[in-house]
């Protein structure tokens, strides 16, 4: 017999009762996942705190050549750094707290939408002007010659 009220033909009484119990394997897998998450969070916390200890530098490169490499602490007075090239110009605001691209002649202005660069690892790239603005950490701010990743 077919029902027309949109209800199914089975009632709740016909369904088997679900008994869910953790087995020892389930508990082991959950413990492994929780330990892995704790390990990842602790690693990120340690890495963040180690990068805070070293002085942040601003590095601006154009066509692979370093134009500016200075500690952010040297910019007690904010500076507008202008880069001119054959494809246009860029205006970069540098202060002791942040670095940001304020104006660029590129059509998409993706470098301007990166926002404020405040931590080591933050960066903005302008492909048409071939300029990279980044915050780096370390005693010299220079990571040339160091291996970052090896891939096969």
pLDDT digits (tens, 9 = 90+) for 98-149: 999 999 988 888 989 988 998 888 999 998 889 999 998 865 555 555 666 6
On the question of pLDDT at 1 being above 60, the answer is no
On the question of pLDDT at 21 being above 90, the answer is no
Question: Which tokens belong to 23?
Answer: 């087995």
Would you tell me which CATH number, out of the four given (2.40.110.10, 3.40.1280.10, 2.60.320.10, 1.20.1250.20), belongs to the domain 56-137? 2.60.320.10
Identify the band that residue 20 occupies on the pLDDT scale cut at 50, 70 and 90: confident
Number of Cα atoms under 13 Å in the Cβ half of residue 84:
0
Q: Where are the domains of the chain?
A: 23-52, 56-137
On the question of pLDDT at 61 being above 70, the answer is yes
Mean pLDDT of the 25-32 span: 92
Residue 16 to residues 7, 10, 12, 19, 53, Cα–Cα distance (Å)? 19, 12, 9, 9, 60
On the question of pLDDT at 66 being above 70, the answer is yes
On the question of pLDDT at 2 being above 60, the answer is no
Quick one: pLDDT at residue 22?
A: 77
Quick one: pLDDT at residue 56?
A: 86
Q: Which one has a higher pLDDT value, 104 or 7?
A: 104
SS3 of 31, please? helix
On the question of pLDDT at 11 being above 90, the answer is no
């Amino acid at each position: 017999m077919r029902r027309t009220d949109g209800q199914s033909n089975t009632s709740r009484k016909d369904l088997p009762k679900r008994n869910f119990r953790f087995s020892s394997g389930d508990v082991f897998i959950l413990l492994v996942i929780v330990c892995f998450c704790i390990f990842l969070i602790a690693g990120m916390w340690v890495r963040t705190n180690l990068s805070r200890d070293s002085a942040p530098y601003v590095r601006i490169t154009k066509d692979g050549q370093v134009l500016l490499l200075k500690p952010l602490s040297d910019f007690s007075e904010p500076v507008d750094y202008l880069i001119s090239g054959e494809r246009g110009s860029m205006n970069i605001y540098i202060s002791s707290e942040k670095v940001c691209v304020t104006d660029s002649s590129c059509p998409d202005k993706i470098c301007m939408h990166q926002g404020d660069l405040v931590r080591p690892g933050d960066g903005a790239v302008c492909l048409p002007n071939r300029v990279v603005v980044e915050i780096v950490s370390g005693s010299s701010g220079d990571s040339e010659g160091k291996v970052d990743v090896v891939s096969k």
